[in-house]
Amino acid sequence: MNLKKLFRKKEYSGGPTERPWNMPEIPEKQLTVSHISNLLREKRPIWAWFSLLQKPNDKVYYFLTGNRINGFGTWILNGEYLFEYIAYFDDRGAVILRLTEIRRMTNSNILELINSTLQQAYCVMYDDKNHTANVKVIATDITQEMIESELQYKEKWLIGPEHFLTK
């Protein structure tokens, strides 16, 4: 066995290749409250791709899962609430979403999302082909009454592990 070949330095092939679907990108100049709000109201979830290699920053680590160097988050409008999910991948590469926070759908919350999260992403996209509707979501015990109660006095509700249902 030739150890030089086994341990030789491998060339990096370029950018990240873990994009789950080919979705239209949202240019940075279109990361506005009105544009993001319109897409969400049109039932087009927003996806953000965070890459440790392409755009390293503190926000990337929040979205990384497993041993990956890329992470994905998605935001879906559900009634008057904006749900944030982190994407996980199973052994076959299928996407599984885990709910991380819920906010009211307000201009100030969309502005905070853009400034604190979407501008930190390597790429921001929207789902124009309804891929997100077919993705598995980890079940929770959260009800409409719980959401209303939690958001009565605060801007967002961070979802802890106590709300996830186990098999």
pLDDT digits (tens, 9 = 90+) for 97-110: 999 999 999 999 99
For residues 50-67, one letter each, b for 16 or more C-beta atoms within 10 angstroms of the residue's C-beta and e for the rest, the string is bbbebeeeebbeebbeee
In the predicted structure, residue 6 carries a pLDDT above the cut 60: no
Interatomic CA distance for residues 42 and 21, integer angstroms = 19
The 10s digit of each residue's pLDDT in 116-160 is 999 999 999 999 999 999 999 999 999 999 999 999 999 999 999
| Whole-number pLDDT of residue 58 | 83
User: Which range, of 24-33, 64-73, 129-138, averages the lowest pLDDT?
Assistant: 64-73
Q: What integer best gives the mean pLDDT of the chain?
A: 87
Tell me the residue type at 83.
Answer: F
> Rounded to whole angstroms, how far apart are CA atoms 82 and 76?
6
Position 66 pLDDT exceeds 50: yes
Closest alpha carbon to 132 in 11, 3, 44, 34: 44
The whole-number pLDDT of residue 57 equals 84
Q: pTM of the prediction?
A: 0.85
Whether residue 59 is predicted with pLDDT greater than 60 in this model: the reply is: yes
Encoding tokens for residue 28?
A: 């940075």
pLDDT at 69: 82
Share of residues in the chain with pLDDT > 70 (%): 87
Q: How are beta strands 95-104 and 156-158 bridged, if at all?
A: antiparallel
